[in-house]
Amino acid sequence: MPTDNENTINAPSETGPSDPSRRTLLAGSAGLGLAAAVPAATAAAQSAESPSREFAGRSAFVTGGARGIGYATAEALARAGADIMLYDVAGQIEHVKYPLATPEDLATAKANIEALGVKCIAVQGDVRDGPKQKAAMQEAAATFGSVDFVVANAGITQVGPLDIFSEAEIDVVLDVNLAGAMKTLQAAIPIMRAQNAGRIVLMSSITGRRGSEFFPVYSASKWGMIGLAKSTARLLAKSNVTCNAVCPSLVRTRLLDNDYILGTMIPDNPTIEAADAGAKQLHVMPVGLYGPEHVANTVKFICSDAAAYISGDVFDIAAGRNTEFPA
């Protein structure tokens, strides 16, 4: 099975998959001449794992996992026992006006996940690079024995009315947020089909549920994620794979907490406190910017056995702001 170690941050641990059902999957998946094997979700559901380690023996591939919502999601899944591959660009992308994660962020994320007692592989890669992402996911399948959960979370943003953006600035947001997620799905599809099981979560946004004058390209990319989730849910339904979209509102991460975003959105008072006050006005419930663990907990639920037949759905995490959306 092809591997892509060129930008792998540290070597994965040398011990093999601990769960026998996943060894079966691995044996059936060599070289992607994938034979249908025991569905990982079914196998794990039949085991007597304690609820707190409900994902023991399973694994997750998380894009944009070096920090923010992606890291929080990886941590929540790891706390429940899942092995993790973090796939993050961990470097700057041209036309993105705020700092993305660094290689140090990615290495720290990997160390923190490993400290939870699971395996973690960190790959420095761009979701726009389809072949690299595919090789990374195949490496995850080969190392962990399966890829049970895929979280297409990597994303970037920009602020301003549509007419101010150059072609390159439009392209980069669509390429990362939407086409990048499509490439994540293309990597996942053959693996999950062969497993006859899997959960896919696409990170959309409430700007994918309502128009946004000042986030036009970002909003379009996030509306696209919902169409992509529903289309993929149909495509993979017969393989027992679910696909859902998650729509956070305003989360306390570096995507918002940076000079470019704060300075453009709130030029009179470009502080995180002012952003928090703005978020309190936007939310119906009495909360401002909330922590990424709230998004992570929703993703964890979608990956759980309790959500086995929830597919093609959209989960708003918007502290009531979503009450204005049509059903």
Task: Report if residue 280 touches ligand NAD, rule: CB under 6 A.
Answer: no
For residues 178 and 98, the answer to whether their CB atoms sit within 8 Å is no
CB closer to ligand NAD, 68 vs 288: 68
CB closer to ligand NAD, 101 vs 142: 101
DSSP run (H or E) holding 21: helix 20-28
Find where tokens 């007692």 sit: 117
Stretch of residues binding ligand NAD (CB under 6 A), selected from 16-24, 148-156, 230-238, 305-313: 148-156
> Which residues lie across from 84 on neighbouring strands?
60, 120
Structure tokens at 327: 């059903």
Least CB distance from residue 63 to ligand NAD, whole Å? 5
Task: Report if residue 66 touches ligand NAD, rule: CB under 6 A.
Answer: yes
Q: What would you measure as the largest C-alpha separation in the chain, in angstroms?
A: 60
Residue of the chain from 39, 216, 248, 288 that contacts ligand NAD (CB under 6 A): 248
DSSP run (H or E) holding 248: strand 241-248
Which distant-in-sequence residues (6+ apart) come within 8 Å of 190 by Cβ? 32, 34
DSSP run (H or E) holding 198: strand 198-203
Least CB distance from residue 28 to ligand NAD, whole Å? 29
Stretch of residues binding ligand NAD (CB under 6 A), selected from 163-171, 191-199, 248-256, 265-273: 248-256
> Which residues lie across from 269 on neighbouring strands?
none
| Pairwise CA distance, residues 252 & 230, whole Å | 28
Task: Report if residue 9 touches ligand NAD, rule: CB under 6 A.
Answer: no
Stretch of residues binding ligand NAD (CB under 6 A), selected from 4-12, 41-49, 152-160, 264-272: 152-160
| Pairwise CA distance, residues 326 & 210, whole Å | 9
Residue of the chain from 62, 156, 188, 262 that contacts ligand NAD (CB under 6 A): 156
Q: Which of 87, 98, 218, 290 is catalytic?
A: 218
Please confirm, yes or no, whether 98 is among the known catalytic residues: no
| Pairwise CA distance, residues 254 & 267, whole Å | 18
Task: Report if residue 256 touches ligand NAD, rule: CB under 6 A.
Answer: yes
Residue of the chain from 7, 8, 21, 205 that contacts ligand NAD (CB under 6 A): 205
Stretch of residues binding ligand NAD (CB under 6 A), selected from 54-62, 66-74, 134-142, 158-166: 66-74
| Pairwise CA distance, residues 150 & 269, whole Å | 38
| Pairwise CA distance, residues 236 & 80, whole Å | 25
Task: Find the binding residues for ligand NAD in span 90-109 (CB under 6 A).
Answer: 90, 93, 100-101
Provide the annotated active-site residues.
Answer: 218
Residue ranges in contact with ligand NAD by CB under 6 A: 63-64, 66-70, 88-90, 93, 100-101, 126-128, 153-157, 176, 180, 203, 205, 248, 250-251, 253-256
